A and B are shown apart, each in its own frame.
Chain A
Amino acid sequence: MPIEISPSPENPHRFQRRGFSCERAIKYFFASNAGLTLVILLLIIVFLLKEGLGFFPGYRRELEIYRIAGLEFVDISRKNLTAHEQLSSVLNRAYFAQINGQCARELKRSQEAAAVFNAFSDQTSATRELIANHEATGMDRGSEMLATLNNNHACQKQKALDSLPLTPHLSDTERAELIESIRARDVTTVGDPPLVTALAQQYASAQQQCAMPIAEWRSVIDSFEAAGADLSALVTEMTDAVTTTKEAIQNNDILENDRKSLLAAAANAKDPSERQKLMAEARDSLAEKPDIEGPMQSLMLRKPDCIATHAALRQACEGILAMLPPSLSQSDANRLLLAARKASPLFLEALTGTSQQITQWRHDKPVPLSDSIRSFLTGKDWVTGGAWQDFYGILPLLAGSLMISMVALCLAIPAGVGAAIYINQFASPVEQAVVKPVIEFIAAIPSVVLGFIGILIFGTILRDLSQLDGLAWVPGFPIEERLNIFTAGCLLALMSIPTIFSLAEDALNNVPAAFSEASDALGASRIQTTFRVIIPAAFSGILAAVLLGLGRVIGETMVVLLVAGNRIKIPDFSAGLGTFFQPSHTLTGIIAQELGEVPLGSVHYRALFVVGILLFAVVLGINATAHKFVNRTTN
């Protein structure tokens, strides 16, 4: 008998599947959900790439204009000019640090007296002005209003007098005299109290006295500053010329783009008359090619001039810098002086190299696409929205993100993993019941709120602490900026501790009890079991926990935007540990800050998308690695 392969519906066999089953519907429902998430992820990637990849050609064109308009040429000289200005500023700061260091006592006395008077005026001036206005408008003197105001003024005055700041550098009689003179003031008194004026004068004369012995040095600094004048004039002059060219080219680019889109529209237009009209419009908007060669030629004529100016500057500076004093008596001033001494050979070397750079520079050297990619990946400047030239270099942001993550991980790994080990291995059930939910609760705090805490506690208090004299030995202290890498790192550590803690605790929990039982049976103590058996067995799980914590840290935006200080600059690594107390910006922060303000579709807008792509790739990579480790534990 032949086997019937296709069962007829009229004559079903015993196991015939019948109709539509509910089970299948449920299955398809879940399958479609899973599919949807995949599709969304794909769409996100496609969208990011579509918006981002246009960046590189656009940036290439910007760099090309930068070159053909001659901005790049001017920047060679400008760079030296900036270095010169920075060096002068350091020297000036050293000079004033020396003077102020020597008359520190006078400075403090003057400042304290002024602080007392300011504290008083801050509290009373508002009412005082009201009264003065009142009288000026000629209201009758006996009015009720005026009486109230006067009364208020008296109260405020008393209150202010009761809470004047401390004056450790003023003698008691001086303080009493000052307070007396303030008390004697009435609404109409103008000018500072006599003691404030006197102390200010004392300070000024002390400054003059201190400046006398280093007058020679002052003239060195002055001549150094003056030496840059020629270069400065030259740069200003060239700047005007090249910016005009640049604007012309940019306008032409815009017109050209318009024309192209008109032509494209014409090609698509169905109606012949419509097409004619569009074509005509396109022809009209055909811009005149801007003159690039002319200005460039005149710019190139300046080459010998530039070289000569640089050579002169070099000569002058070399002589002047040799006359710097070997050391200064005030430690602050001396530190600045040393910095200047260290920087000056580099500066001179840069000046020497410039002439060659200038001769070799060519405006018609092509700018390949790879240049824009390189400039993005290795650029040290992220400058946007400026009149001169925009640069999109990722390094300052990347450095900020990495350093903040480093700080965060250095704090969060010991805290998170340590807490997990303690809670999992040593804590009593009561401790477990309390600590676990508390740590996990941290994860629920909105990051904006954490940002407040960060600004207040970590920022302000830490900075104030760092300025105590007793703590000056701590590397990196005193901290100048309230918002800095360290603050952001601390907060991110706080945010990533719950992630690291929970996952590490899970990993420890997943170590089979048989391991610890075997270890116990061999005579191991609790600590030995923990460190020799449990932690090695959970190691990859703990590593995965740390990586996922890192992913969270790198991707976090709100906190870093609030507390990292947002200065776009590669941290100055010469500061040692102090590097961590500098402000910085991050990959996430820059997107959040700038995306809302940039014109849609501009190069800047696309640059932010490329930053986003980079971030996406980094976090994806971290998570993929973490998953690898998680899988390794479960196997």
Chain B
Amino acid sequence: MVTDLTETTSNSETTAIEIRDLSFAYHEKPALHEITLDIPARQITAFIGPSGCGKSTLLRCFNRINDRIPGAHLTAGTIHIHGIEINRPDIDLQELRRRVGMVFQKYNPFKKSIYENVVFSLRLAGIHQRSALDDSAEMALQSAALWDEVKDRLHSSALGLSGGQQQRLCIARAIANQPDILLMDEPCAALDPTATLKIEELLHQLKEQYTIVIVTHNMAQATRCADLTAFLYLGKLIEIGPTLEIFSTPKDPKTLSYISGSFG
């Protein structure tokens, strides 16, 4: 199946996602233009940019969840994850999505118990031993810093949790699969500052194990969490660099005007 490992660039150890000349369109309407970008492993990369600039679209290319949208398609370019081109026809989408987890802007736990939400992906994989499920559930909830709050009511409905807890549950659900990469599309947009802080702390811990890509509208959040920040504008990548550099000495005037708040 996946034989083309020679294609792999030399730095595949440290680069989790390699994007080359990526263009993307919804039907005839282009949304991304020739984006080239390396996302390093075990670091947090933030995408910032004004609304509608294509951050979500780019992020959703990494697990090909865009395939769900009729008419959405890649027009040019490649995406390699750990050296493998993910748009090849012989890619097993389910396996890809198991390796590349995703957390959405609006928390969306299933109408099931907390426990069943967390072990959902394990059940999909056909794991039914109680002990294995229990272990994974505890591990994932611990990692998502939710364990202490819910350990007494694992079997009550997930919809009874607060918004912040539900979002952390969704993170736990994504982690339970033990993915390599975690994509987060504005994970704190629907949360209050306290819940946001909790999740940011969580990101710092998760960084040890996972490559994290996060979309955010919140500059402060980007500065607090991200190692690397990429600025997108009108479907183009304007600038990428270490977060501190981007926010202190942006090279492009558009970046400067965006972070200084003159638009967006």
Contacts and interface: CB of A to CB of B under 8 A. Distances in A.
Interface stretch (A157-165, A181-189, A234-242, A513-521): A513-521
B97 A532 contact: no
B105 to A, nearest CB: 10
B165 interface: no
Given A517-B68, A518-B104, A528-B124, A523 B98 contact: yes
B94 A524 contact: yes
A403 B43 CA distance: 66
B116 to A, nearest CB: 10
B108 A532 contact: no
Contacts of B177: 522-523
A159 B108 CA distance: 78
A536 interface: yes
Q: How large is the interface on A (under 10, 10 to 19, 20 to 34, 35 or more residues)?
A: 10 to 19
Interface in B89-110: 94-98, 101-102, 104, 106, 108-110
A517 B97 contact: no
Nearest to A529: B124
Contacts of A518: 104, 108-110, 170, 173
Nearest to A537: B111
A514 to B, nearest CB: 4
B233 interface: no
A512 B98 CA distance: 22
B169 to A, nearest CB: 11
Residue among A515, A519, A523, A525 facing the most chain B CB atoms (10 A cut-off): A523
Contacts of A521: 63, 65, 97, 101-102, 104, 174
Interface in A518-567: 518-525, 528, 532-533, 536-537
B121 interface: yes
Contacts of B111: 536-537
A471 to B, nearest CB: 42
A532 B68 contact: no
Q: How large is the interface on B (under 10, 10 to 19, 20 to 34, 35 or more residues)?
A: 20 to 34
Nearest to A525: B94
B224 to A, nearest CB: 26
B258 to A, nearest CB: 29
A522 B124 contact: yes
Contact of B174 (A514, A520, A522, A536): A522
B124 A515 contact: no
A522 B108 contact: no
A416 B197 CA distance: 49
B120 interface: yes
A525 B109 CA distance: 18
A522 B97 contact: yes
Nearest to B120: A522
Nearest to B97: A523
A339 B154 CA distance: 60
A490 to B, nearest CB: 36
B120 A536 contact: no
A517 B63 CA distance: 12
B178 to A, nearest CB: 12
A522 B177 CA distance: 8
B151 interface: no
A524 B101 CA distance: 12
A512 B106 CA distance: 12
A523 B174 CA distance: 10
Contacts of A519: 110, 120
B108 A524 contact: no
Nearest to B103: A521
B112 interface: yes
A441 B3 CA distance: 53
Contact of B108 (A515, A525, A528, A536): A515
Nearest to A429: B70
Interface in A358-377: none
B214 to A, nearest CB: 15
A525 B106 CA distance: 22
Nearest to A521: B102
A520 B95 contact: no
Contacts of B112: 536
Interface in B31-70: 63, 65, 68
B124 A517 contact: no
B173 A520 contact: no
Contacts of B120: 519, 522, 532
A520 B97 contact: yes
A512 B97 contact: no
Contacts of A523: 94-98, 121, 124-125, 177
Contacts of A512: 108
Contacts of B104: 514, 517-518, 521
Contacts of A520: 65, 68, 97
A524 B106 contact: no
A532 B106 contact: no
B65 A514 contact: no
Interface of A: 512, 514-515, 517-525, 528, 532-533, 536-537
15 contacts: A514-B104, A517-B108, A518-B170, A518-B173, A519-B110, A519-B120, A521-B101, A521-B174, A522-B174, A523-B121, A524-B124, A525-B94, A532-B123, A536-B111, A536-B112
Which 4 A-B pairs give the minimum distances between C-beta atoms? A514-B108, A523-B98, A523-B97, A521-B102
